Amino acid sequence: MFTAVIFDLDGTLIDSAQDVRYALNKLLIAHKCQEIDSDRIYGYLKQGIRWLIKTAFLQSKKILHDDSIKELIEEYLLNYQAEPITRTKIYPGVIETLSLLKKQEIKLGICTNKPSIMTHIILDKLQLLSFFGAIVAAEDTVLLKPHPEHIYETILKMDIKLGSPVVMVGDSDNDIVAARNANIPVIAAKYGYSGAAIARLEPDASIDDFFSLPIALKQIYHSIAKQTLGS
């Protein structure tokens, strides 16, 4: 099997969209901007916190510059830290499947564009932190997904060599493209924020729920083995 599996966080392991929305809307209200409704928030969660806040303010025709975004990020993070998991849910099958992979001595890591402080707080409060040997969030690397450097940094922190059999699991375009750029196979989580539309990017496999992950891993591994033997 694979030496390691790298996971995206939001939309893959957890659904944190409504807690993000709550913290963001508190910020928007404080600055007299239009709130984001519960359905639209999912389209705001791919590019990291800076993009999230800039885009949210832009809908009220407020253009943010670099000199003002830092204070707004700090304000947003204070809002988020006040209620980090009130509305957040772990997807079905995550705990059971991560436990199974650990028993098989497969190393597990997280590669996320989410702020580092919130990533660690949320994983700790959800009692998921102990599953992962490496967590690489937004401030932990210069270049974020879809750049492959973000995945490379995660692999190095997992204490495995580049070139080892590793697979990425994620729900967004950024995850699929980052894995392709890093030249590793990728599994698309169709239950996540992008829904079934993620399959258009032709990942190596797709899963409808987290319980299906072990089967998808085996399918990809056997497919790679056949290609290797065939060559």
8 is catalytic: yes
Q: Which residues, in sequence order, are CB contacts of 8 under 8 Å at separation 6+?
A: 110, 111, 112, 145, 168, 169, 170, 171, 172, 174, 175, 189
Question: What number of other Cβ atoms are within 10 A of residue 193's Cβ?
Answer: 21
Question: Which amino acid, residue 57?
Answer: F
Catalytic residue among 8, 15, 171, 204: 8
Tokens of 225: 């083995």
- Which of left, alpha, beta for 105 (phi over 0: left; psi -120 to 50: alpha)? left
User: 41, 59 in Cβ contact below 8 A?
Assistant: no
How, if at all, do strands 166-170 and 186-189 pair? parallel
Edge-first strand listing for the sheet containing 4-7: 134-136, 107-111, 4-7, 166-170, 186-189, 205-207
The 8 Å CB, 24+ separation contacts for 40-45 are 41/17, 42/11, 42/17, 42/193, 44/20, 45/10, 45/11, 45/17, 45/20, 45/193
Catalytically annotated residues: 8
